[in-house]
Structure 1
Amino acid sequence: MRAIIGTAGHIDHGKTALVRALTGIDTDRLPEERDRGISIELGFAYLDLPGGDRAGIVDVPGHERFIRQMLAGAQGFDLLLLIVAADDGVMPQTEEHFEICHLLGVRQAIFVITKTDLVDRERVDEVRAEIEILAAGTGLEDAPVLAVSAHSGDGIDELRREIVERLARAERRAGSGPFRLPVDRASVVKGHGVVVTGTAAGGGVAPGDELTIVPGERLVRVREVQVHERRVESAEAGQRVALNLAGVERGEIRRGDCLVSAGVPAQTSRFDALVEIRPSARKPVRSHQRVRLYLGTSERLGRIVWLDGLRAVEPRSSAYAQIAVDENVVAFVGDRFVLRDETASYTLGGGRVLVARAARHGSSDTVGPMLEKIDGDNPAARVAGFVEATPGLGLAPRDVALELGMAEDDVRSLAAGAPDLCLLPDERAPALVAPADRCRRWKELITDRIGRHHASHPTSPGIELERLANLREVRGDPHGLKVLVETMIAGGELTRRGGRVALPDHRPSVEEGDAELAGRVLEAVRSAGTMPPGLKQMSEEFGVSIRKLAEIVSVLCDRGEVVKVSSDLVFSRPVLDDVESKLRAALAEREKITAAEFRDLIGATRKYCIPLLDFLDRSGVTVRQGDYRRLRSR
């Protein structure tokens, strides 16, 4: 069974003793913990279930000084055991742990009153009432409250039965998507090397898999996988996992790092999220306020920036925000996190990641509607909202699938059927999923820019793609621009001319003052036959720049009057057609021809013959074989 049980509660309320009573395992492993009788570090155990299954148990420390350890362990609970000692009742850390578990999205809980052997029934009823007040108005207000004594064993069997029943109802985490394991413990096991443990947050892992340690880019290989001290062939999201790793030393991985499937984007310096501010914040949380972020097993300092113009958010309220961290953190869509004040003295709130690798938003940007789509239950709307919220034209279907935890085929089919999305260049082989209105806007910008280029440079066959990339809105996404231009060319909205693009109806024309120059160039090329003057020579003879001459030649080429065979040589079209006709006739008789024989055939020098032969090779007329040319077979 893929399930994690977590304990939480105030210091010395009997969490570790309860775990020992349920499992027979003592989770206090440090000498200091045993000497002082309190948990300092995370403890781990497992509970044997009917049918041979095991559920993992994470026992978190209760002292306020160890809240960081508690936050590292509380990620990914399927069932919470909130422990309240009968003699103390609900205490400050009880409330804070409950707040944290609420923020981390825990949906199943059992409230456990411990140490009932120390008090009378009336006191147990008083504590039960305190728990009801604590849970009122939350998603856990209907959770059962059970009274037990780890010392006498009273109520332990009933608690064990309730755990089994609750786990059967628990919502299972998806095992799809990339594997990721927030590391909560790393050690060296004699004879094995580095072993790390954690609760798998997504995907699956097996021996031989390559993983990346993030932050960073270090690759490691999985030697062995264990779940609850048993060697297994694979492990999935929702299981307590131990991995024996190759390719890493003990000092190179620690709690707070994350192991992720190799090649998967995981790091981010800012993410968009829905954030809830809790009563424990005591006062409004201001935009750009410094905060301490707890995500996975990591802890980062950063700032919270409220979106859509909000300046502050009151306790008991929720709003969309961007969290910008000082150091990269691992984040995926749907991840839960907790925010505390900068000094880590109290909890401000927490939330859920909606865009893991977000762009910086301007003060006038309206982001909320897009994030609302991602936050909803409609898969097509989630895809649309996600690509709308990311910079550039769009995203590859694979990237959308990885970020949203969906199958790539599902992303493609959803995009194909959604009127507000488009697949580029087409549905059969999509390179990008993009918002339809953004595609239309980019097309309008591209068409307008090319039209203005044609108006100001009538002799030019078109505009270079690099100059289109300078458009303000498309700047920063050259890949998206290239895909969209290729789509427009395939659809007849643009045409390609050499290394440039143009509107389909554009015909380069000679400017009024250059008509005489164009006539002189054409006459010079025609009259010279198979040995025409080069561009550099004509530039000197006519007293014009090579750039101006190149524009004139480009227009003549587009008209079909001349053909450019090399960077400097231009031939009259009739002359070139005659050369090709003579060559085909000669090769029909002798099958092959040398450069010297070709020179004699057309009556030109080697300076002209070699560029001509290379041009004919590129044009598909001939093929070179050593020192000979043959007709290319069709």
Structure 2
Amino acid sequence: MHVVATAGHVDHGKSTLVRALTGMEPDRWAEERRRGMTIDLGFAWTALPSGETVAFVDVPGHERFVPNMLAGIGPVPAAMIVVAADEGWMPQSAEHLAALDALGVRHGLLVVTRSDLADPAPARAEARDRIAASSLGAVEAVAVSGTTGEGLGELRSALDRLVAALPAADPDGPVRLWIDRVFTIKGAGTVATGTLGRGRVAVGDELTLDNDSVRVRGLQALGKPAGEVTAVARVAVNLRGVAKDRLSRGDALLTPGSFRQTDLIDVRLHGDPVKELPPTVTLHIGSAAVPARVRPLGADTCRLRLGRPLPLRLGDRALLRDPGRHHVAGGVTVLDVVPPGLSRRGAAAARAADLDTMDGVPDLAGELRRRRLIHASELAAMGVPVSGTAVAGEWFAEPGHWAGLADRLVAEATAYRSAHPLEAGAPVEALRHRLGLPDRILVEALVRPPLRVRNGRVETGATGIPAELVAAVGKAFDGKPAFAAPEAYELAELGLGARQQAAAVRAGLLVQLAPNVVLRAGAPEEAAAVLRGIPQPFTLSEARRALDTTRRVAVPLLELLDRTGVTGRLPDDRRLFV
């Protein structure tokens, strides 16, 4: 299926032409048929001589309904511009053309209607000249009469040539279905319609709506049920469990994780000079129309603060309109959907210079230069193709920035070790905060020899033992038997609290048997040598007497020998060497 918008002045016979082509009534409202004027979007379709199907989005022509018109042409890749032979080019034709040009539409067809009432040549010549100066360029022109049917065959052939020239849609791309109509069907629930410009939608798919998950209950295309619809197509989506008032024109159904909802964007304007924009304009993209406050930056760049978040990507093309003057200010290309703050002095000028280097084409290297460190999911949501090797998990980094972080990690870990000599190393979480990193796996990925990660800390490999710690340990055992452990109060008086004991254990000065039960380093090996010399197997009491120690020491010491496989415990609680 192919989708074409029909644009033109209110009196140029667009709806009559669509009816004649399709045999369908595009005007859905009784008031439209009574007044002979399209007020809202109309939809119809027909088969072409080649067998291709073309669907029409008939947009209003009256200036009072320009927002409706823009909602119809926004997602559509081609346009059929209708001009009447007896009236020629009209101001509303110019506004429609300006909108198509602002959106960068490049495929079109000129149809001169009511050729039974006047010679179509003058109107055709003027319209082609005007259209040629727009993004549409030179277009084919066909003269028809919707009343007599003259020229309809030629028009069908011209439409075949138009759709054959359209670029192939991306069937595997992410879905962004801008909703242009919402209604309910008894027994089915809420239905939303729109033009699917990219990707595919299938029954059962999960999509997102304003960051909420919704499920596709059913699909229709060209008025018939479908299990799957592939772009480009007009599609009606029946959503499970979604109330009608939850949706409105301008909302979008999205592939999860593929678009960023943002209300702040930096753009390049193709049209009026930025300095001529009013403080508030209306941004039109897809079927959405939202107010936007303008902050000029450069000659053709500005920042827009949107009235509500929209799902946008880098490179998106939108339109700015000044509703006060009924004027299309021009098209915009989205350059950044996550722009930096501009609070510092000179930040706006620096940002303008940066935007001058950007063209809106998503580029991984460019984004890494600007953002330095970013997650793959954020890149995907911005529309940036992800390739190459991540630095950690799904994190990508600009190489120079990553190398600088590695140097800073060494400095921070060393500084921490100097400030906390009793600790084995700097906690990974503390280093994450010092380096301003969003994920602890980044800290671990930055570690290079001689640094190492152990037990949640980054160790520097430094072996220096504070002299006061060595002295305190020596005093704790002065004059004591080999297997006598200092009491807790003695350790405390010497300044050997839990932290100091742990540091002494790491330094190889002590062996920790239990909280506040410590022996000199090497004591377990010495104890094993003594116990090998007594009759086997032996009891706890026999071991305690052989070691000349207390039960407070003997119990955890024997448990340590059991854990390390030196001794084995028998069912009767006696032990022997294994």
TM interval, shorter chain, is: 0.7 to 0.9
Task: Provide the residue aligned with 1:200 in structure 2.
Answer: 196
Structure 2 Cα separation of the partners of residues 106 and 94 of structure 1: 15
Structure 2 Cα separation of the partners of residues 144 and 351 of structure 1: 27
Task: Provide the residue aligned with 2:408 in structure 1.
Answer: 445
Task: Provide the residue aligned with 1:386 in structure 2.
Answer: 367
Structure 2 Cα separation of the partners of residues 582 and 128 of structure 1: 112
AA in 2 matched with 1:518: V
CA spacing shift, 1:486–1:137, aligned 2, 3 Å = same
Residue 6 of structure 1 contacts residue 57 of structure 1 at CA under 8 Å; is this kept in 2?
A: yes
Task: Provide the residue aligned with 2:476 in structure 1.
Answer: 524
Task: Provide the residue aligned with 1:252 in structure 2.
Answer: 246
Mapping 1:592-603, distance limit 5 Å: none
Instruction: Describe the superposition over 1:224-247 as per-residue Cα deviations: whole angstroms up to 9, x where unpaired.
Output: 111111222211232111111211
Deviation at 1:432, TM superposition (A): 1.6
Residue 428 of structure 2 contacts residue 444 of structure 2 at CA under 8 Å; is this kept in 1?
A: no
Structure 2 Cα separation of the partners of residues 622 and 265 of structure 1: 63
Deviation at 1:516, TM superposition (A): 3.9
Deviation at 1:100, TM superposition (A): 1.4
Task: Provide the residue aligned with 2:399 in structure 1.
Answer: 436
Task: Provide the residue aligned with 2:431 in structure 1.
Answer: 468
State whether structure 2 residue 364 is matched by structure 1 residue 395: no
Residue 227 of structure 1 contacts residue 242 of structure 1 at CA under 8 Å; is this kept in 2?
A: yes
Residue 175 of structure 1 contacts residue 204 of structure 1 at CA under 8 Å; is this kept in 2?
A: yes
CA spacing shift, 1:80–1:465, aligned 2, 3 Å = same
Structure 1 Cα separation of the partners of residues 380 and 476 of structure 2: 61
Task: Provide the residue aligned with 1:419 in structure 2.
Answer: none
Mapping 1:225-236, distance limit 5 Å: 225-236=219-230
Structure 1: segments with no counterpart, 5+ residues: 417-422
Structure 2 Cα separation of the partners of residues 375 and 158 of structure 1: 39
Deviation at 1:79, TM superposition (A): 1.6
**Identity within the alignment, %:** 32
CA spacing shift, 1:532–1:265, aligned 2, 3 Å = farther
Residue 335 of structure 2 contacts residue 355 of structure 2 at CA under 8 Å; is this kept in 1?
A: no
Structure 1 Cα separation of the partners of residues 185 and 145 of structure 2: 36
Deviation at 1:19, TM superposition (A): 1.3
Structure 1 Cα separation of the partners of residues 265 and 147 of structure 2: 47
Structure 2 Cα separation of the partners of residues 525 and 344 of structure 1: 92
Instruction: Describe the superposition over 1:580-613 as per-residue Cα deviations: whole angstroms up to 9, x where unpaired.
Output: 8899x99xx99xx999999999865468856995
Instruction: Describe the superposition over 1:240-261 as per-residue Cα deviations: whole angstroms up to 9, x where unpaired.
Output: 1111121112222221211123
Structure 2 Cα separation of the partners of residues 628 and 105 of structure 1: 87
Mapping 1:150-161, distance limit 5 Å: 150-161=146-157
Q: Which moved more, 1:599-608 or 1:150-159?
A: 599-608
CA spacing shift, 1:518–1:70, aligned 2, 3 Å = same
What is the DSSP-based 3-state SS (H/G/I as helix, E as strand, rest coil) of the residue aligned with 2:24? coil
Structure 2 Cα separation of the partners of residues 87 and 63 of structure 1: 18
Q: Which moved more, 1:99-108 or 1:522-531?
A: 522-531
With normalisation by structure 2, the TM-score equals 0.85
Deviation at 1:569, TM superposition (A): 5.2
CA spacing shift, 1:404–1:560, aligned 2, 3 Å = same
Instruction: Describe the superposition over 1:329-374 as per-residue Cα deviations: whole angstroms up to 9, x where unpaired.
Output: 1223333211223658322222233443444356535476588566
> Whose Rg is larger?
2
CA spacing shift, 1:110–1:6, aligned 2, 3 Å = same
Instruction: Describe the superposition over 1:559-594 as per-residue Cα deviations: whole angstroms up to 9, x where unpaired.
Output: 3223456665554331245568899x99xx99xx99
AA in 1 matched with 2:485: P
With normalisation by structure 1, the TM-score equals 0.78
Residue 80 of structure 2 contacts residue 110 of structure 2 at CA under 8 Å; is this kept in 1?
A: yes
Task: Provide the residue aligned with 2:18 in structure 1.
Answer: 19
Mapping 1:278-357, distance limit 5 Å: 278=272, 284-285=276-277, 289-307=279-297, 310=298, 313=299, 318-319=300-301, 321-341=302-322, 343=324, 345-357=326-338
Structure 2 Cα separation of the partners of residues 126 and 574 of structure 1: 107
Instruction: Describe the superposition over 1:265-285 as per-residue Cα deviations: whole angstroms up to 9, x where unpaired.
Output: 542222343332348x8x623
CA spacing shift, 1:349–1:571, aligned 2, 3 Å = farther
Residue 341 of structure 1 contacts residue 348 of structure 1 at CA under 8 Å; is this kept in 2?
A: yes
State whether structure 2 residue 233 is matched by structure 1 residue 224: no
Structure 2 Cα separation of the partners of residues 149 and 142 of structure 1: 23
Task: Provide the residue aligned with 1:572 in structure 2.
Answer: 520
Task: Provide the residue aligned with 1:507 in structure 2.
Answer: 463
Structure 1 Cα separation of the partners of residues 47 and 89 of structure 2: 30
What is the DSSP-based 3-state SS (H/G/I as helix, E as strand, rest coil) of the residue aligned with 2:97? helix
Aligned pair partner of 2:442 in 484, 492, 503: 484
State whether structure 2 residue 360 is matched by structure 1 residue 375: yes
CA spacing shift, 1:567–1:148, aligned 2, 3 Å = farther
Residue 354 of structure 1 contacts residue 371 of structure 1 at CA under 8 Å; is this kept in 2?
A: no
Aligned pair partner of 2:341 in 354, 360, 381: 360
What is the DSSP-based 3-state SS (H/G/I as helix, E as strand, rest coil) of the residue aligned with 2:203? coil
What is the DSSP-based 3-state SS (H/G/I as helix, E as strand, rest coil) of the residue aligned with 1:197? strand
Task: Provide the residue aligned with 1:49 in structure 2.
Answer: 48
Deviation at 1:117, TM superposition (A): 2.1
Instruction: Describe the superposition over 1:400-432 as per-residue Cα deviations: whole angstroms up to 9, x where unpaired.
Output: 3454274xxxx33xx24xxxxxx213xxxx422
Structure 2 Cα separation of the partners of residues 499 and 303 of structure 1: 48
AA in 2 matched with 1:226: Q
Deviation at 1:42, TM superposition (A): 0.7
What is the DSSP-based 3-state SS (H/G/I as helix, E as strand, rest coil) of the residue aligned with 1:273? strand
Structure 2 Cα separation of the partners of residues 629 and 62 of structure 1: 100
CA spacing shift, 1:52–1:189, aligned 2, 3 Å = farther
Deviation at 1:113, TM superposition (A): 1.9
Structure 2: segments with no counterpart, 5+ residues: none
Instruction: Describe the superposition over 1:432-460 as per-residue Cα deviations: whole angstroms up to 9, x where unpaired.
Output: 22211221232233333333334444444
CA spacing shift, 1:190–1:354, aligned 2, 3 Å = same
Deviation at 1:294, TM superposition (A): 1.8
Tell me how large the CA RMSD over aligned residues is. 4.0
Structure 1 Cα separation of the partners of residues 230 and 13 of structure 2: 31
Deviation at 1:151, TM superposition (A): 1.6
Residue 539 of structure 2 contacts residue 573 of structure 2 at CA under 8 Å; is this kept in 1?
A: yes
